[in-house]
Structure 1
Amino acid sequence: MQSIPVDTTRLGVLRCAIAPEVKIANSETQEVKKDRDGNPVYTVAVTVRQDRRRISVIEIAVSGEPTGIEEGQIVRVTGLTAFVWSMDGRHGVSFRADAITPVPAAAVQRKGGDT
């Protein structure tokens, strides 16, 4: 699976659409997905809006529980990587990040709010 680094500075405003949720590896046993180091993997749905165009929603996986993130809040995504996948005739793009952190309200106000 090829990984593609994503330049988040070109994505515009990133806003949490669905707060962090633990990722389930097996729906029958409710086993939580773990990374290589044994940390639980969480997903965060994030809206992406570039240049006042329509909004897209992407789900981003991150190791460990992101703290302080609430729905509707502007977030910073660090180390975002896209992965192109194909399995059993299906295909798509998944996203993983090193970290997802809330942007303090004061920082948003200094930049003039969101677009």
Structure 2
Amino acid sequence: MQSIPVDTARLGVLRCAIAPEVKYSNAETKEIKKDRDGNPVYTIAVTVRQDGRRISVIEIAVPGEQKGVVEGAEVRVTGLVAFAWAMGDRHGISFRADAVTPVTPVTPAKNGGVA
């Protein structure tokens, strides 16, 4: 499977559409998928808005829990690569990144809420 590096600077504004969720290698047994280093793999849905009103949503697999990434927040994606895949009649593109981090970190307010 060939990996294709993606220049995220050309993707425009990236926002978290669905917060990080653990990825299962077996949904029935709830076995958590792990990367080569043994880290759990999480999936984050990110919206990509390049120009105008057109928005695409991509799901990105990342190693480990991505702290501070919440729905609606603008995010930065580091080390994004795309993979073309085919399985029988089905085909598509999958995405993997080294990290997804919030552009503006979420900090707790003094009253215990979010600032």
**How far did residue 53 of structure 1 move?**
3.5
Equivalent residue for 2:66? 66
Tell me, which stretches of 5 or more residues in structure 2 are unaligned? 106-115
Equivalent residue for 2:104? 104
**Take 2:88 and 2:24, find their aligned partners in 1: how far apart are those partners?**
20
**Take 1:42 and 1:88, find their aligned partners in 2: how far apart are those partners?**
26
Equivalent residue for 2:112? none
TM-score, normalised with respect to structure 1: 0.89
1:1-115 matches, within 5 Å, as: 1-104=1-104
**How far did residue 35 of structure 1 move?**
0.2
Percent identity among equivalent residues? 77
Query: Which stretch of structure 1 is more off in the superposition, 84-93 or 54-63?
Result: 84-93
Tell me, which stretches of 5 or more residues in structure 1 are unaligned? 106-115
SS at match of 1:29: coil
**Take 1:67 and 1:19, find their aligned partners in 2: how far apart are those partners?**
10
**Take 2:67 and 2:52, find their aligned partners in 1: how far apart are those partners?**
28
Moved over 6 A (4+): none
- Coordinate RMSD, CA, aligned: 0.9
Paired amino acid for 1:80: L
The structure carrying a bigger helix percent of its residues is 1
Aligned length: 105
**How far did residue 28 of structure 1 move?**
1.3
**Take 1:53 and 1:81, find their aligned partners in 2: how far apart are those partners?**
25
**Take 2:43 and 2:33, find their aligned partners in 1: how far apart are those partners?**
11
Query: Which stretch of structure 1 is more off in the superposition, 77-86 or 45-54?
Result: 45-54
**Take 2:30 and 2:98, find their aligned partners in 1: how far apart are those partners?**
24
